[in-house]
Structure 1
Amino acid sequence: MEMINWVINLGPSVMMPIIFFIMALCFRVTIGRAFKAAMLVGIGFVGISLIITLLLESMGPAAEAMVSRFDLQLTVIDPGWPVAAAIGWGTPIVPFAVAGIILLNIILLFLKVTKTVNIDIFNFWVFMVTGALIYSMTDSIWIATLAALIHFVIVLIIGDLTAPRIQSDFNLKGVSFPHGTTAVFVPFGIAINWIIERIPWLRDVKADPESITKKFGVFGEPLTLGAIIGVLLGILAGFDIGSVMTLGVTVGAVMVLLPKMVDVLVEGLSIIREAAEAFLKRRFPNREFYIAMDTALLIAHPAVLATGLLMIPTALVLAVILPGNRLLPFTDLASLSFLFAMCSPFLKHNMVRLYITGIVIMTMVLYIGTDISGAFTEAAKLANVALPDNISNTTELANLVGGASTPLGWLLIKIASFFA
């Protein structure tokens, strides 16, 4: 556990370069190029992290202000994905789940069931938080670990199946995204797109960034869309004119800078991918392999990021109007893009289709969060996690962005409840 915690505490910006440097050497890349590739990956992660943090720190106060301004009184609060990650990494199932995931990945690669080498170790928490909730209910390490492994395998398969389309649409080669938060929602995105294609007036709406830019010129560019959305969110939050303008510029900056940081990371990744491809083709001439990556690489797309921002006030409205919902969207509001990032290619990067999909996904997440709040709160106590200062220890908890808040996580939790 101490070794695992030490590695995790390094964070992706340090952990991933080390992993990629070792991989590059294994694939016979010279030390100099391996170092450059690993550092570019690390710099890319640092840049992405800084910009996402900028977005979260800018949108966090706006989200809190909206909650306060509209006096939303709901009994389950969202403490954010960092708390969910701490729960996932803080229960007794961790050594068994981590070892099981790595071993299972190797076995599935050997059996040719998967093409993905999942080195995205930090995001193992997405699977383990499902196991953590089950452990809090059943007190069984083995049932909880089994659930986490099932969650992992299903998401791994989705990552394989979606990789070709995502690689093509996002211009990313040799990678897949077996991310337990977003992969599970891809089938819903495909289903919604199928329905929209059969509604004449709706299917003809062109709302992808290219069409918007072509139609509106500079007013349709990502930086302008970001600025407009930032200003609107600032107004909804009741900010003064200076804060509204600051938020508009900040969101516009995020829309421009985030894709550039992804480009830096991809430059380093390309060096290793090309070497890996050549090395593996010599030894496995008829096989193709993918490297697992974080969904953060996908939210840089203007359609995904802009729709995620539009979902912030929408999530609050849904929380109020949905009958039976008790979950108040809060800390994770600025991270909603992660929920449907993988759906975007299957929705033609159309913001109208993405927004409709976002509403469906958010509705599911709110009801799931309400239903699992008891187990989530108990798991947080067992893991002894520190809650944000503005959240009471006596409040029931459930987050928006995490494996347990997906239909797959919920289904596994429900099945396991029969053993409680």
Structure 2
Amino acid sequence: MIIINSLISMGPSVMMPVIFFLLALIFGVKVGKAFKAGMLIGIGFEGISLVIGLLLNSLGPAAQAMVERFGLNLTVIDSGWPVGATIGWGSPIVPFVVFGALGINIIMLLLNLTKSVNIDIFNYWHFLLTGGVVYAVTNSILIATISCLITFIIVLVIADKTAPRIQKEFDLKGISFAHATSAVYAPIGILINWIIGKIPGLRKIEANPETINNKFGIVGEPLTLGTILGVLLGILAGFNVTKILTLGIKVAAVMVLLPAMINVLVDGLVTVRDAAETSLKKRFPNREFYIGLDTALLVGDPAVLATGLLMIPAALLLAVILPGNKVLPFVDLASLVFLIPMVTPYCKRNIFRIFISGLVILTLILYAGSDIAVHFTKAAEIANVSLPEGVQESTGMTSLVGGATSPLGWLFIRLSMLFS
């Protein structure tokens, strides 16, 4: 755990280059080329982190201003994914889940039950968050650990099943995404796309970025879409003209810079992936393997980013109109984009269909968050996490992004109540 905690504390920008440098050497890449590949991956992750940081830091104040402007008064605060990650990594089940997940992944690979080598260790917090809440309900390390590991297996299976479609749509050969926040929503995208495909009129709506660009020219380009959406969000937040225009420019910058940073990472990834493919095919001629990574590689797609921005005001509207909802969307409003990357290819990158899927996903999350808030808050207390400053009047906390409020996480938490 000392070694794992040290790696995690370094962050993906340091952890991933080390991992991929070692992988490259194992698969026979020369030292110089392996170093370059690892560094490109590290630089890519750092670039992605910087651009996503720009997005979150720009949208955060706008989202909070919307909450205040619309006068929302709900009793469960969305405390955000950083709190969720702290709860996950701060729970007593960490060593059992981390080593258990690594062992299960190896066994499933040996038995040909999975193709994915999930090295996205930092995002194990998605599983751990569910387990942390289950532990708060049951006070049982065993039950909480089992919940996490079953979730890990299910998400690994989803990663395998979705990989071919995602690889084709996003041009990411040999990559899969065992990402508990995103993967569990892929079936919803499949279902919504099927339903819309059966509805006359709606099924003819074409709203993928390429179609928009062809119809509207410069207006449909990512930089213009980013500017328009940023300006609209600034207006909804009640910003002055200067702040509105600044937000428009920053969102446009994210739309342009994020794909560029992802390309840098992929350049390094290709070297390791090709060497791994050649080496593994010699040893396992009839097997195919995927490298499991963070869905941050997918959020740079214009369809994903544009829909993620539209989901911010939609989340606030749903919070008001959904009967029985107690959750106040807050910190995670800027991170909603991470809910939909794996939905996107199944909705044919159609922003309209992705957005409808996003509404369904948000509805499920808000109700799940309302239902488990008491236990989520207890899990936060166990991990020594307090309510964010300024929201002490709220009676509980939850998160919109993270495994606990996904349908799968909610199901395990509800089942665990049978043992409380």
TM-score, normalising length: structure 1? 0.99
CA contact (8 A) 2:135 2:141 kept: yes
1:279 aligns with 279
What is the deviation of 1:255?
0.4
| Cα shift readout 1:319-372 (whole Å, capped 9, x = no counterpart) | 010000000111100111111110100000000001111100000000000001
CA contact (8 A) 1:77 1:329 kept: yes
1:269 aligns with 269
1:69 aligns with 69
Return closer, same or farther for 1:128/1:393 CA change in 2, 3 Å cut-off. farther
Return closer, same or farther for 1:222/1:158 CA change in 2, 3 Å cut-off. same
What is the deviation of 1:6?
1.8
The yes-or-no answer on 1:382 pairing with 2:388 is no
Gapped regions of structure 1 (runs ≥ 5): none
| Cα shift readout 1:141-164 (whole Å, capped 9, x = no counterpart) | 010000000000000000000000
1:137 aligns with 137
**Counterparts of 1:300 and 1:153, CA distance in 2:** 27
1:344 aligns with 344
The SS at the match of 1:228 is helix
CA contact (8 A) 2:339 2:401 kept: yes
**Counterparts of 1:310 and 1:394, CA distance in 2:** 26
The SS at the match of 1:291 is strand
The SS at the match of 2:157 is helix
The yes-or-no answer on 1:308 pairing with 2:308 is yes
The SS at the match of 1:342 is coil
2:402 aligns with 402
Q: For structure 1, which segment, 379-388 or 311-320, has the greater mean C-alpha deviation from structure 2 after superposition?
A: 379-388
2:54 aligns with 54
CA contact (8 A) 1:387 1:393 kept: no
**Counterparts of 1:299 and 1:195, CA distance in 2:** 25
The yes-or-no answer on 1:259 pairing with 2:259 is yes
In structure 2, give the amino acid aligned to 1:115.
K
- The structure 1 segments of at least 4 consecutive aligned residues displaced by more than 3 Å after TM superposition are 386-391
In structure 2, give the amino acid aligned to 1:385.
V
2:320 aligns with 320
**Counterparts of 2:265 and 2:2, CA distance in 1:** 29
What is the deviation of 1:393?
8.7
| Cα shift readout 1:228-265 (whole Å, capped 9, x = no counterpart) | 00000000000000000000000011000000000000
2:89 aligns with 89
In structure 2, give the amino acid aligned to 1:354.
I
| Cα shift readout 1:152-187 (whole Å, capped 9, x = no counterpart) | 000000000000000000000101001000100111
**Counterparts of 2:168 and 2:203, CA distance in 1:** 22
**Counterparts of 1:65 and 1:111, CA distance in 2:** 52
Gapped regions of structure 2 (runs ≥ 5): none
CA contact (8 A) 2:163 2:175 kept: yes
What is the deviation of 1:395?
3.9
2:194 aligns with 194
1:411 aligns with 411
In structure 2, give the amino acid aligned to 1:152.
F
The SS at the match of 1:397 is strand
Pairing 1:151-230 to 2, within 5 Å after superposition: 151-230=151-230
What is the deviation of 1:385?
2.5
CA contact (8 A) 2:387 2:397 kept: no
CA contact (8 A) 2:76 2:394 kept: no
The SS at the match of 2:166 is helix
The SS at the match of 2:238 is coil
Return closer, same or farther for 1:212/1:394 CA change in 2, 3 Å cut-off. closer
Return closer, same or farther for 1:171/1:363 CA change in 2, 3 Å cut-off. same
**Counterparts of 1:418 and 1:88, CA distance in 2:** 22
What is the deviation of 1:387?
4.8
